[in-house]
Homo-oligomer: A and B are copies of this chain.
Amino acid sequence: MSVTTPKGFTAAGVTAGIKASGRPDLALVVNNGPDAHAAAVFTSNAFKAAPVLWSRDAAADGRLAAVVLNSGGANACTGRAGLADARQMAEWTAEAIGADVTDVAVCSTGLIGVRLPMDRVLAGIELATQDLSDEGGPAAAEAIMTTDTVPKTAEYHSPHHWAIGGMAKGAGMLAPALATMLVVITTDAVVAADDLASALTTATSFTFDRTDSDGCMSTNDTVMLLASGASGEAADPEEFTEALTGVCHSLAMQLLADSEGSSHDIEVTVAGAASEADALAVARAIARSNLFKCAVFGNDPNWGRVLAAAGTVAAEFDPDHVDVSFNGIGVFVDGQLGADRAEVDLTGRDVVVDVNLHAGEATATIWTNDLTYDYVKENAEYST
């Protein structure tokens, strides 16, 4: 049920004709209240697309009544005209549902540097408004897909009679430049806007921020969280943050599993670090090493490339006492050769790499994909 799992939300997904393929390409998510609380996080890329600039301002006061999303065009690097287009989308949506324009967020995904066909966008917004229903979540999740092969949704049902629902598209930038990550999450719990913001910051920092498919960062990445309060139940802050983190984790893993061109999902966990920052930096360096990612594609438990990547980071550890294991087999132990690498089977999709620095108690995990022929093919042949 995606974003319409919690009470107080209606949604729709329609074909506006923005995509040449004729697949659904416009989604609308409306918060019918009683609350209109919201929080959002956006790409940290200096080149922020027009809808990101618009939505950042719209969400700044912690209030949103609706989000309108389109696939088929990113409205990025489109200058002032693109900014006007993003605002126009918000205005049309605000008129259609009877909200203030500054309470409507806009998300776009698709080609960079191309203006949106605004006549079709307008027709799509009108169509979506007519189609709004409390069962529209799945259709909305489908309409935001670009190179995704399946829609991604997740939900959580609290024993305290409130719920969370979410939808996502994209895969970092593993797929071509059109693969912006867009996420909309809804809840009917009663949560103040400030508490939504802190829960979202925590949840994304442990999930989407650590999903690093190819180290590239989109101009449009957006995660929105809307709270209707329609359950009438105030959520326990700890339960809410944990549940939200769980929903984000589920969506992040679905994004990774659907990364175009990948043949392995890789979990890199660095333990025994002197600080969490050290653990994260080492895990990220490994997850971004092309040599390591190619080795995993070749089903090779190449601890030498893990070490070479780890060694590029200014983290505190003694290189003579590091352990590396692949799928639980310790191939490098205490700075020396360990188990025979032939014992490691990497033919499955899931690969777990554990590194212990033996320098402290901190741990962090980064999720990534392997580097394959298909990755190069799709990103070389695709021209934005």
Residues of A participating in the B interface, judged by any CB pair closer than 8 Å: 44-48, 76-77, 79, 112-113, 173, 176-177, 214-219, 288-291, 294-295, 297-298, 300, 302-305, 307-313, 315, 317, 319-320, 332, 335-337, 371-373, 375-377, 379-384
User: Known interface pairs A319-B48, A373-B376. Does A218 touch B308 (Cβ–Cβ under 8 Å)?
Assistant: yes
Chain A interface, DSSP helix/strand/loop, else mixed? loop
Q: How many copies does the complex hold?
A: 2
Contact A384 B294 (CB under 8 A): no
Chain B residues, CB < 8 A from A309? 216
The residue of chain B having its C-beta at the shortest distance from the C-beta of A215 within the complex is B290
In the complex, what residues of B have CB within 8 A of residue A337's CB? Answer: 77, 113
With contact pairs A113-B337, A372-B376, A383-B300 given, residues A177 and B294 touching in the complex (Cβ less than 8 Å): no
The answer to whether A290 and B216 touch (CB under 8 A), given A307-B47, A373-B373, is yes
Point out the residue from B112, B307, B313, B372 that lies within 8 Å of A304, measured CB to CB: B112
Q: How far is the CB of A58 from chain B (nearest CB, A)?
A: 20
A344 to chain B, nearest CB (A): 12
Contacts of A217 in B (CB 8 A): 308, 311-312
A349 to B382, CA, bound (A): 20
The answer on a CB contact under 8 Å between B379 and A291 is: yes
Contact of A384 among B302, B377, B379, B381 (CB under 8 A): B302
Would A294 and B379 count as touching, CB distance under 8 A?
A: yes
Contact of B335 with A46 in the complex, beta carbons under 8 Å: no
B290 near A290: Cβ-Cβ < 8 Å: yes
Contacts of A319 in B (CB 8 A): 46-48
Task: Decide if A308 touches B216 in the complex (CB within 8 Å).
Answer: yes
Rank and list the top 9 A-B pairs by shortest CB-CB distance, nearest first: A298-B380, A294-B379, A112-B304, A46-B311, A45-B311, A47-B311, A294-B380, A297-B380, A47-B307
